[in-house]
Amino acid sequence: MQPLSVLAVQDEGTFDFIDVTSMMSQSHILSLPGISKSYKTRMTQRAGGLAIADTNGFFFADMVADTSGRYSITLQKESFNQGTSANDFVEFKRETFFVTFLETDYFAIVERSSGGGFFSGGKMTKIRSISPNVLSMGIQLIPGPRLNSTTFVLVRDRRGIQLVNLLKGTSHQLMMSPVPVQYTDLSFLRLLYDPKSHLTHLVTLFYEAYPAAIRDALDTSSLADREGNKPVLCLYTFNREFQSGLISLAVNSTQDRTLY
């Protein structure tokens, strides 16, 4: 039986498999060819598979453990949008990913190759962003009306929060940021469902400037508040009419031609 392990990936593309019991490294992989800075790495629904959002594009890899528990990673030839920085993604159904790229005017739906058949090649479909120069700071899927179905995804960027329709291939400005400047180190977006009220809540985090009287009294040398700003949690609630509208649109959209 293999010990429980955690895969830790550092910015420069270093991969470490760590035994959670001993907290010791089982395997240390310095780099993979073509990988320079991994923004996000996650296991995929394909057994032993990894998806990697990197400054050089969107990549896939396989990880294998030998009998001694040591892991190796092999980068696959399959990659998308090489030369453009991918910084976030989510697998919304098996082998199909919603991906964001830095400083572009589009999102992408990436569908992996099936590995067999005449039409087995992977493909990427672009979805134009409602705002240019996208910098994703959080992605959340909105569960669909059916099990394991997703029609909409929420993306937080510097302007606010976009609602992306995966079936129609369109984006919409759902909410505007309550502050004029977003701090890109606060990558936080969560979707919560209250089973008692049957309401869906969206939670995100911003920096808000202190009032002048408080800001002037702050210790500017403090590492906890060097910029004189305070983090503020923002809670948005989807009312039932909005939720019903999304469900109706999702159900009706399944009758139309999809992009993937």
Q: For the chain, which residues make up each domain, given as ranges?
A: 135-260
Q: Averaged over 212-223, what is the pLDDT? A: 60
Q: What is the pLDDT of residue 34?
A: 81
User: Which range is least confidently modeled, 50-54, 131-135, 141-145, 169-173?
Assistant: 141-145
pLDDT level of residue 259 (50, 70, 90 thresholds): very low
CB of 8 within 8 A of CB of 54? no
How much of the chain, in percent, has pLDDT values that exceed 70? 75
Residue among 32, 33, 40, 34 at smallest CA distance from 9: 40
Residues 79-92: tens digit of each pLDDT:
999 999 999 999 99
Q: What is the pLDDT of residue 52?
A: 93
Residues 150-182: tens digit of each pLDDT:
788 999 887 888 999 888 888 888 888 766 555
What is the gyration radius of the CA atoms in the chain, in angstroms? 21
Most confident range (mean pLDDT) of 110-114, 149-153, 240-244 is 110-114
DSSP string, the chain: -PPPEEEEE-TTS-EEEEETTT--EEEEE---TT---EEEEEE-SSTTEEEEEETTEEEEEEEEE-TTS-EEEEEEEEEESTTS-EEEEEEEETTEEEEEETT-SEEEEEE---SSSTT---EEEEEE-SSSS-----EEEEE-SSTT-EEEEEEE-SSEEEEEETTTTEEEEEEE-SSS---TT---EEEEEETTTTEEEEEEEEEEEPPHHHHHHS-TT-GGGTTSEEEEEEEEEE-HHHHHHHHHHHHHHTTSPP--
Residues 30-81: tens digit of each pLDDT:
878 888 888 899 999 988 899 999 999 999 999 888 877 788 899 998 899 9
Q: What is the pLDDT of residue 14?
A: 83
CB of 150 within 8 A of CB of 93? yes
Given a cut of 50, whether residue 117 has pLDDT beyond it is: no
Higher pLDDT, 260 or 219: 219
Residues 6-40: tens digit of each pLDDT:
888 876 778 888 888 888 888 888 878 888 888 89
How much of the chain, in percent, has pLDDT values that exceed 90? 19
Given a cut of 70, whether residue 227 has pLDDT beyond it is: no
Residue type, 174: L
206's CB contacts (< 8 A; 6+ apart) are 177, 178, 179, 182, 183, 186, 231, 232, 234
Q: What is the pLDDT of residue 124?
A: 93
Residue among 196, 189, 147 at smallest CA distance from 164: 189
Q: What is the pLDDT of residue 197?
A: 80
Residue among 134, 82, 84 at smallest CA distance from 107: 134
Q: Averaged over 187-202, what is the pLDDT? A: 82
Tell me how far apart the alpha carbons of residues 75 and 107 are, in angstroms, rounded to a whole number: 24
Residue 207 has which token pair? 């920096």
Q: What is the pLDDT of residue 17?
A: 85
Tell me how far apart the alpha carbons of residues 35 and 59 are, in angstroms, rounded to a whole number: 9
232's CB contacts (< 8 A; 6+ apart) are 205, 206, 207, 208
Given a cut of 60, whether residue 125 has pLDDT beyond it is: yes
pLDDT level of residue 202 (50, 70, 90 thresholds): confident
